[in-house]
């Protein structure tokens, strides 16, 4: 039977629920479901849900979100390819759907990118690599605030009983926390001066000024003017902590009390999600964001940052680099637009935003 592509609308909601129900019944991870409502809160502004229809049944779907990106200051529209899901997950007769959806998305916009994806060994990155997309990981950085809590609670490093016992001992004696704190202090460069930073609830003219003075310094960055920031991090949305750092830049953070998380257990995790400043001001923004999260009482601070200036700012502020499964996939057309060695300013605020944190 022929496959058709349709945008999600009220007409297809029942069929989407049935599709999700089949994934649910087969035990597919809960995060892998298609949105049922065209205005589902998980959809960022401008997102379109494309469904794959076979004779009235939904057999798959994917999300496209056109966005403005700036290539060395020049605006171009690119599209984020997100959450491709197909019946092929549970019924091998539909193995063709993954490649079908990817080719369909490329027909809609060749300037396509994917972000996150969970590691090179997952099906989507493998498919993108086969199609000649450029794949790279966006480095992951962390800084430990409460060493004892992290040693006891960070599941990602307690995967065997011996190591878990060693970390328990280090936490119990206090030696682990003290040692980690000393090590981080040793690695932290003293800032030239403390910068004035204040929490804000909204982005307005000052954010536009930062955008205007900063974005041309990057070979690639997504639009981050005040209007866009209000869409991504709406005023009144308490989840997003916004910090204005003088007139130099800003950061958006999360302070999340994890519950039974496979990586972070029950730790309180601070995330520097998003940020903008001129590259030379990145250190001031990172320092202010780190201090702010520490004062709130988080156990651990994490961030993914692609650009060398932001990476240097994190390392200079005592952050360690860890393994990253946060990947950027750039289609052939996107890669050609970037050039071979472009330095990109991308972070957890890009793509579908900090949905998993």
Partner 1 sequence: MTESILDEVRTIAADTFGVDARTLSAHSSPEQVEAWDSVQHLNLVLALESKYGVQFEPEEMERMKDLGQIAALLGTKIS
Residues interacting with partner 1, by CB under 8 A? 2-3, 86, 88, 92-93, 95-100, 102-104, 107, 123, 126-127, 130-131
Report yes or no: 194 and 283 within 8 Å, Cβ to Cβ. no
CB of 11 to partner 1, least distance (A): 21
Backbone angles phi, psi at 51, to 5 degrees: -105, 150
Select 130 or 196, whichever has its Cβ closest to partner 1.
130
Backbone angles phi, psi at 57, to 5 degrees: -100, 140
CB of 188 to partner 1, least distance (A): 43
Which residue in the block uniquely carries the two structure tokens 């980690």? 180
The C-alpha atoms of residue 206 and residue 247 are separated, in whole angstroms, by: 7
Select 57 or 95, whichever has its Cβ closest to partner 1.
95
Report yes or no: 111 and 331 within 8 Å, Cβ to Cβ. yes
CB of 124 to partner 1, least distance (A): 9
Select 123 or 234, whichever has its Cβ closest to partner 1.
123
Select 103 or 198, whichever has its Cβ closest to partner 1.
103
Report yes or no: 225 and 75 within 8 Å, Cβ to Cβ. no
In our burial notation (b when 16+ CB lie closer than 10 A, e otherwise), range 36-63 reads beeeeeebbeebebbbbbeeeebbbbbb
The C-alpha atoms of residue 208 and residue 218 are separated, in whole angstroms, by: 16
Backbone angles phi, psi at 194, to 5 degrees: -70, 130
Backbone angles phi, psi at 334, to 5 degrees: -65, -45
Select 99 or 191, whichever has its Cβ closest to partner 1.
99
Select 54 or 219, whichever has its Cβ closest to partner 1.
54
Which residues 6+ apart lie within 8 Å of 229 measured at CB? 203, 207, 252
CB of 14 to partner 1, least distance (A): 23
Select 121 or 260, whichever has its Cβ closest to partner 1.
121
CB of 104 to partner 1, least distance (A): 5
CB of 50 to partner 1, least distance (A): 11
Select 117 or 243, whichever has its Cβ closest to partner 1.
117
CB of 1 to partner 1, least distance (A): 9
Select 19 or 167, whichever has its Cβ closest to partner 1.
19
CB of 254 to partner 1, least distance (A): 33
The C-alpha atoms of residue 61 and residue 163 are separated, in whole angstroms, by: 42
List 56's β-bridge partners, or say none: none
Residue 176 burial (CB < 10 Å; 0-12/13-18/19+)?
buried
C-alpha separations of 20 from 1, 32, 53, 333 in Å: 21, 8, 14, 33
CB of 62 to partner 1, least distance (A): 12
Report yes or no: 77 and 86 within 8 Å, Cβ to Cβ. no
The C-alpha atoms of residue 51 and residue 16 are separated, in whole angstroms, by: 8
């Amino acid at each position: 039977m022929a496959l058709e592509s349709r945008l999600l609308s009220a007409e297809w909601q029942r069929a989407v629920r049935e599709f999700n129900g089949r994934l649910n019944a087969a035990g597919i991870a809960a995060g892998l479901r298609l949105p049922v409502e065209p205005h589902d809160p998980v959809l960022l502004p401008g997102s379109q849900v494309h469904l794959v229809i076979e004779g009235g049944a939904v057999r798959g779907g994917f999300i496209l979100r056109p966005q403005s990106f700036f290539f060395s200051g020049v605006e171009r529209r690119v599209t984020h390819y997100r959450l491709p899901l197909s019946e092929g997950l549970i019924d091998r007769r539909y193995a063709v759907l993954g490649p079908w959806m990817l080719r369909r998305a490329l027909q809609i916009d060749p300037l396509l990118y994917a972000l996150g994806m969970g590691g090179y060994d997952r099906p989507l990155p493998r498919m993108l690599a086969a199609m000649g997309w450029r794949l790279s990981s966006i480095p992951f950085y962390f800084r430990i605030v409460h060493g004892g809590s992290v040693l006891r609670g960070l599941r990602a490093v307690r995967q065997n009983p011996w190591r878990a016992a060693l970390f328990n001992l280090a936490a119990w004696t206090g030696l682990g926390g003290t040692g980690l704190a000393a090590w981080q202090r040793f690695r932290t460069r003293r800032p030239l001066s403390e910068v004035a930073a204040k929490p804000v609830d909204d982005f307005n003219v000052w954010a536009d000024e930062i955008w205007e003075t900063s974005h041309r310094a990057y070979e690639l960055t997504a639009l981050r003017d005040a209007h866009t920031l209000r869409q991504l991090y709406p005023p009144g949305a308490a989840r997003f902590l916004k910090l204005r750092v003088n007139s130099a830049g800003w950061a958006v953070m999360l302070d999340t009390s994890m519950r039974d998380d496979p990586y972070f257990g029950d730790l309180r995790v601070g995330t520097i999600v998003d940020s903008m400043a001129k590259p030379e001001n990145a250190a001031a923004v990172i320092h202010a964001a780190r201090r702010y999260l520490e004062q709130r009482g988080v156990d651990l601070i994490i961030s993914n940052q692609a650009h060398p200036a932001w990476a240097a700012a994190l390392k200079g502020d005592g952050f360690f680099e860890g393994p990253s499964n946060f990947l950027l996939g750039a289609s052939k057309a996107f890669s050609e637009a970037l050039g071979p060695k472009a330095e990109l300013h991308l972070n957890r605020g890009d793509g579908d935003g900090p949905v998993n944190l």
